[in-house]
Amino acid sequence: MNAFANALTQLKKAIQLGGLSAETWEFLSKPQRIINHSLPVRMDDGSLRMFESYRVQYNNACGPYKGGIRFHPKVDLSEVKALAFWMSIKCAVVGIPMGGGKGGVVVDPKKLSVTELERLSRAYAAMFAPYIGPDKDVPAPDVYTTPQIMAWMMDEYNKVTGTEAPGMITGKPLAVGGSQGRGTATAQGGFYVLSEVVKKLKLVLGKTTVAIQGFGNAGSVMAGLVQKAGYKVVAVSDSSAGIYNPKGLVLKEVEKYKQSTGKLTGFPGAQTITNEKLLELPVDVLVPAALENQITEKNVGRIKAKVVLELANGPTTPEADEKLFKKGIVLVPDVLANAGGVTVSYFEWVQNLANYYWTEKEVFQKLERIIVDSFNEVWQMAQSKKTDLRTAAFIVAVGRISEAMRARSWIN
């Protein structure tokens, strides 16, 4: 499935239902700039390898481009374009003054040594330095990239440009200008959204069951937050398999087991299941927190959850979206559910520019207000247009981007 084609399907639906102009479609159906480089990296054995890399700058009507850089063997241009587009929507949904961009390198970082990974990270920053910066395009971590990688990139960018610009990238370690709360912000924002959905649907907290696909940073933190709040986490999974216990999992034990064995498979007192089967469990809340295209036309009929909360980017295809809505399943889209990450990235950028830093409590207070207000605005739009939450979020976001483009006289 073509991720970018899915993104355009979502855009077209929102423009039609929201009564937005044909010029808005014409402008937003294509990225403003695509940059493609081959990165030369000297490996530890002395050999030279070239790594294909991308940066897509989708739209900057609302402010500088903003979006992560992923290191993954299956990165391709269609995926990066889609992710850059979704970042434009995501920033506009929560009303932060930034546009959308995304980067990627075709690589399996697990096969690189630490020194090779550093050389690759620095090569990316050096090659893309003319196109990025605090007032142009502000990258961040994504799949298989880390705060340490962001620090290497910032250091290399500063060397190449002769500046000291911590605001050129976000998701950095605290020691070099990172923000309190950034590491858990995606899950924290998702948790605030889930709390609002539970209120709207009048679900009973202590009896609400949750399954989470993906036990990386966002998924594992989300699991901890919901369990602490009183939800019953019955299933989690990593890239290889999942575990399920309808009576609930003790997450501290799961984390210990994962750390000691490197996997979830075989966890005592739980049934080992596939990632595909986890999606189909009879739970109240399903949280896809892995990769895109997980809920499709093929398996949507077997989804039993009352709520699907997308912590991953693009885990549901447009065809599946339609069917979930018809089944009465509430799907909270990625552009709202996982916007906590980009919101706190924006906070980090603001703190870097001001050289004034906030406490974690201050960060989360600001985040909660933005996320809750954004959710309620999207919920009201969905009710007024009698549509799903994704389309409502897109109508809100595209409306804001369209207004900014009109103010700049890019469109009539």
Residues 76 and 190 in one domain: no
Instruction: pLDDT band for 1, please (50, 70, 90 cuts).
Output: low
Question: What angle do the packed helices 3-18 and 318-326 form, to 10 degrees?
Answer: 50
Span 37-43, mean pLDDT? 98
Query: Any catalytic annotation for residue 74?
Result: no
Q: Could you tell me if residue 358 is inside a domain?
A: no
Residue 261 phi/psi, 5° resolution?
-105, -20
The total number of structural domains in the chain stands at 2
pLDDT the model gives residue 339: 96
**What is the domain extent for residue 240?**
185-337
Residues 193 and 224 in one domain: yes
- Taking only the tens place, the pLDDT of each residue in 271-306 is 999 999 999 999 999 999 988 789 999 999 999 999
Instruction: List the one residue out of 370, 365, 344 whose CA is nearest residue 174.
Output: 344
Domain limit, last residue, from 311, 337, 363: 337
Alpha-carbon distance values, 291 to 51, 131, 181 (Å):
22, 27, 23
Where b means 16+ CB within 10 Å and e means fewer, 238-249 reads beebbbbbeeeb
The pLDDT, as a whole number, for residue 371 is 98
Length of the chain: 412
| Pair (43, 106) in one structural domain | yes
- The answer on 139 and 224 residing in a single domain is no
Query: Is position 41 within any domain?
Result: yes
Chosen domain end from 279, 307, 337: 337
- Residue 147, both tokens: 């705060």
| Residue at 94 is within a domain | yes
CATH assignment of the domain containing 240? 3.40.50.720
- Say how far apart CA 406 and CA 96 lie, in whole Å: 18
- Residue 407, in any domain of the structure: no
Of 13, 66, 102, 172, the catalytic one is 102
Dihedrals phi, psi of 338, to nearest 5 degrees: -110, 20
Q: Are residues 236 and 271 in the same domain?
A: yes
pLDDT above 90 (res 239):
no
pLDDT of res. 159 = 98
Residue 376 vs residues 69, 195, 332, 372, 393: alpha-carbon distances, Å: 30, 12, 12, 6, 10
Mean pLDDT score, 22-42: 97
Is 329 found in the same domain as 189? yes
pLDDT tens digits, 320-345: 999 999 999 999 999 999 999 999 99
DSSP string, 91-134: HHHTT-S--EEEEEEE--GGGS-HHHHHHHHHHHHHHHGGG-BT
Answer yes or no: is 403 within a domain.
no
pLDDT at 217: 82
> 160 and 192 share a domain?
no
Q: Side chain identity at 18, as an amino acid letter? A: G
For residue 48, give every residue at least 6 positions away whose Cβ sits within 8 Å of its Cβ, in sequence order, or none: 40, 41, 42
For residue 136, is it within any domain?
yes
Decide which of 337, 369, 401 is a domain's last residue: 337
Can you give the pLDDT at residue 318? Answer: 87
Strands lying side by side in the sheet with 232-237: 271-273, 242-244, 232-237, 209-213, 285-288, 307-309, 330-332
For residue 207, tell me if it sits in a domain: yes
Question: pLDDT tens digits, residue range 317-326?
Answer: 889 999 999 9
Q: What was the pLDDT predicted at 3?
A: 83
pLDDT at 57 over 70: yes
User: For all residues of the chain together, what is the average pLDDT?
Assistant: 95
Q: Which whole number is the average pLDDT over 231-240?
A: 94
Q: What is the CATH number of the domain that holds 151?
A: 3.40.50.10860
Are 189 and 333 contained in the same domain?
yes
Report d(CA 194, CA 186) in Å as an integer.
Answer: 12
Residue 101 has pLDDT above 70, yes or no: yes
| Helix/strand/coil for 243 | strand
Asked if residue 95 belongs to a domain, the reply is yes
pLDDT of residue 293: 85
